[in-house]
Amino acid sequence: MTVRLLRTIAEVRAAHDEARHAGRTIGLVPTMGYLHAGHASLMDAARAECGSVTATIFVNPLQFAAHEDLSTYPRDLEGDLALAKAHGVDIVFAPDVEEMYPSGPVLTTVSVREITATLDGASRPGHFDGVATVVAKLFAIAGACRAYFGEKDYQQLLVVSRMAHDLSFPVTVVGCPTIREADGLAMSSRNVYLGPEDRAAAPALKHCLDAGAAAIAAGERSPDAIEATMSSVLAGEPRATMDYVAAVDARTLERPASLRGEVRLLVAAQVGPARLIDNLGVHAD
């Protein structure tokens, strides 16, 4: 099969209208490109459940702060198209910035309160407004569809899900499991920034999460104690500088006095030139 590379909003809308008219469900996989096996798993999930699959590739300037890596974010459209073809994608939508934001500075933005107040929302002010705004645009362009997002960006998944619900988009948001390297490192396009020594240190994030999960399995329910355990493990890797560790309610990201039910452990750390994030779901009886 071939992959159709579309560059304009009008082309995508026409293609999706045609697919829906033929009775096919649209599967949407929003990405910023430089695709890897984690993205491929989202495409595979969409392919298994939908009659037509569209992957979007757009490095969204709204979600980068002035000091962040917008200009150096890795890009490889040729490689992305090859991966998309191998995983059954029908359409790749790869617009330029002028197509997505034709009037220059954006005057209308989408903000999801409360669940963006902590974690990456606190560390990267404005980031989730940029994410919610571009995803809202993509949902408006795609129309009725199933949209696939990885749990690796767990807070983002909650933000997008709540935004779609609150604004009544005809979109079902589907969360898919994190895909990891053999040593546990969560796959991320930013892993390309890691030199050999930093790459060897990066699995410390997963070790930190595993230590928190082990503490919960042993009966610990205090977020303070679990986060202290996680921090201690991460501190054992000198090349990793912690941004945050957290043990929170998986639905709200709130930090209860005692953990019960579905818990999400999260970590963010700077490892060499790369800011890495990871998380793990745990059940606390």
C-alpha span between 219 and 173 (Å, rounded): 33
Cβ atoms within 10 A of the Cβ of 170, count? 10
Handedness of CA 175, 115, 271, 209 (dihedral sign): negative
Q: For residue 223, give Cα distances in angstroms to 150, 158, 206, 241.
A: 25, 20, 18, 21
Which listed residue (36, 39, 87, 207) is catalytic? 39
Catalytic (active site) residue 39: yes
Name 177's Cβ contacts closer than 8 Å, sequence gap at least 6: 41, 150, 151
Name 57's Cβ contacts closer than 8 Å, sequence gap at least 6: 31, 32, 33, 35, 77, 80, 92, 93, 94
What residue has token string 């390309």? 192
Active site residues: 39
